[in-house]
Amino acid sequence: MKTRNRFAPILAACLTFGIALLPAPARAEEGMWMPQQIPQLAERLKALGFRGDPQAFADLTGQPMGAIVSLGGCSASFVSPDGLIVTNHHCVQSALQFNSTPQKNLLVDGFLASSRDQELTAGPGSRVYVTTSVKEVTAEITGKLDPKLADRQRHEVVERRLKERTAACEKDGLRCRVASFFDGLKYFELAQMEIQDVRLVYAPAEGIGNFGGETDNWQWPRHTGDWSFYRAYVSPTGKSVAYAKENVPFKPKHWLKISPEGAGSGDLVFVAGYPGRTQRFATYAQTRELAEWSFPRTVRRNAELIALLDEAGSKSKETVIRVATRKRGLNNTLTNRKGVVEGFKRGNLLAKKEALEKDLLAWIAADPVRKKAYGDVLPALDAVQSEKEKTRERDATVYDLLGNGSVLLPAAHTLYELSRERPKKDLDREPEYQERNWSRIREGQERLQRSYDPDADRSLLRYVLVEASKLTPGQRIEALDREAGLSAGISDADAAKKIDALLDRLYAGTKLGDKATRLALVEKSTAEILATKDPMIALAVALDPLWQEIRERAKTRDGAYERLGARYAQALLEKSGGLTAPDANGTLRVTYGRVLGVPGRDGLIYLPQTTLQGVVEKASGTGEFNAPKKQLDAIAAMKAGKKTPYADPKLGSVPVNFLSSVDTTGGNSGSATLNAKGELCGLLFDGTFDTVASDYLYDTEKTRSIHVDSRYMLWTMTEVDGAANLLKEIGEAPSLDVIRPAAH
């Protein structure tokens, strides 16, 4: 018999679905719901056949929600009483990169620790966040605000209250956040245990975990084994501490059983995780800027930056490893933004957004009470947006220079800013430089070493400098013009010469490429940092006044958004007259839907499941479709008659991926997909290219999310990678007896 999770009886009682009662319409279910909202959805869930207690989701310390965790950008869940965590393969790329060398490239070969002492640190800055409580604190944040406060002053008051509330919450190893919901209409305080010692346990080879690569990214059908395992460690006394040899596995109160039955067509499923951000409450003007300027700019930039990284990587295997995570992130965003831009054009979504806004304006104007309450909101929001757009080219380029271009110039600026903020009282510091973040800043400077390549870094910084040289009068970065000798109207050839001369000075003179130097500067005063006369620091210092000016204008703008956004959201909620999910904001959410196919192109219907047969059909032996030989051999053995309990009788093979109508977005990667028993039947890892624009205007007909089936995970662990220790830990070890003959 298979080992059973001791919570199985509770799960069965709380999460039992009547699948036979599912309705026929194949519509996506909009809403990334706060867990505490789920009980209010009881009637909707009942109509879908749900026969459990919706209150189970609202209990964040119970089953199953107590097993759901965040990795700070990806979602994950505990799957054993010894702190074993399952998430997506693409969510552990930084850990694979951190531990890779040209001689032992884990990014390509994968990794399996056959015992606890072989598990590898995921690297500085890796975290697991276990949510312990969520409570509303709206009155504490926006209560008794003087309505006469100017926008900048309002922002200052709200920010200080957020800091004070956060500081009061952060006790005994908790990491807290006060998050805004419905554009500032509501505020909730989230408390999480922050586990600092995270170790890599298992990741399949790239030919499984990233099978299809960028060719298949955001596409269907998929055949990607997008899963990996971490383990959370704490001190022997159960405290969250940094990596230490004596640390022991964390003992979660709840964990999920990985289902050997997976998910089938028509099944009702829930997804629990931490979606990043949607902007469905954005105004038409805000959405138009994204569709017509911001996202096309990102598509162009990312394509050009990827080409630069490819060129740098062609010279060295070490460089390929160092830039791998950055390149994959650029590629993922590139494909996503392409999908959004195309989705807006193909679906005429901007016109639909405009029509919805006009309808809202007409609804407001039709009633004197509503007109008084909301009549000035949209014009005021549009005015704020218009002001922001006046300097967007320059502001975005400054951000690229100091926040998102190379790694050395942003590092220099971070060290300089930290030195200026450190002498202040903690409540007076900029939020990112408060004492609670000092260890993270240090870890970032330490981890930077594994992704820094001088040639690649220079190429990326050169790209942004060339962009800056083309800015028009009125949008110029004057400090950069002085440092590099640039000016409006300069020819491309002359600009290139001056930029290359500046880069020669920067990279020949800087010592920031050395980890020990950077780490030493984390603790230094501003005077000591300036005394280094490091040219990279000097450039960051020269650019800082404009950075501060942009920040100050952003704070005034944020104050306006905080004042106006809540009223705008209130109008939308009042007009809808019903229960609505807030935009995703990186907090714990639950969404539900069914395993469903979707109409493709004209005359084409996509089925909801793929199988191992598709792996064989796509496997080319090279590039993105280089399935490991041992996997292909295992598939061949199964075709020859070898039995496996993970095959689906209806499909005649082991399921690989499946589509569902759940509502998800970036950050949901690694989210647990729960089946009828509350077991983990899959992992959410992607969405379809056709509907990525749903982050801005939801498509109820075509929106689909993509999951890896738990049966593919278990089959691969059994037949390909021989992860017997992990199978035993999660309660699947007896299956080995079924499919492997006894040793002779």
What residues are labeled active site?
90, 226, 669
Q: What does the angle CA 161 – CA 551 – CA 306 come to, to the nearest 5 degrees?
A: 120
Q: How many CB atoms lie within 10 A of CB 663?
A: 28
- Residues sharing a CB contact under 8 Å with residue 376, sequence separation 6 or more, in sequence order: none
Distance, CA of 15 to CA of 197 (rounded, Å): 32
Q: For 538-629, where are the E strands, in sequence order?
A: 589-594, 598-599, 605-606, 609-611
SS3 660: strand
Of 504, 683, 624, 676, residue with least CA distance to 91 = 683
Q: Are 240 and 708 in contact (CB under 8 A)?
A: no
Q: Pseudo-torsion of CA 671, 76, 630, 642, nearest 10°?
A: -70
Q: For 527-631, where are the E strands, in sequence order?
A: 589-594, 598-599, 605-606, 609-611
Distance, CA of 453 to CA of 684 (rounded, Å): 33
Going 611 to 617 to 619 to 625, the CA torsion angle's sign is negative
Residue 650 CA to its chain's centroid (Å): 34
Q: How many CB atoms lie within 10 A of CB 724?
A: 15
Distance, CA of 415 to CA of 236 (rounded, Å): 34
In eight-state DSSP terms, residue 690 is G
Residue 646 CA to its chain's centroid (Å): 30
Q: Containing H/E element for 311?
A: helix 295-313
Distances (CA, A) of 40 to 93, 536, 580, 585: 38, 55, 10, 21
Distance, CA of 582 to CA of 32 (rounded, Å): 7
Q: How many CB atoms lie within 10 A of CB 305?
A: 22
Q: Are 103 and 5 in contact (CB under 8 A)?
A: no
Distance, CA of 33 to CA of 38 (rounded, Å): 7
Distances (CA, A) of 305 to 68, 298, 301, 406: 35, 10, 6, 11
Q: How many CB atoms lie within 10 A of CB 175?
A: 19
Q: What does the angle CA 218 – CA 336 – CA 443 come to, to the nearest 5 degrees?
A: 105
Distance, CA of 721 to CA of 715 (rounded, Å): 9
Structure token pair of residue 442 = 């240090």
Distance, CA of 265 to CA of 712 (rounded, Å): 16
Q: Are 374 and 567 in contact (CB under 8 A)?
A: yes
Which phi and psi angles does 685 have, rounded to 5°? -140, -10
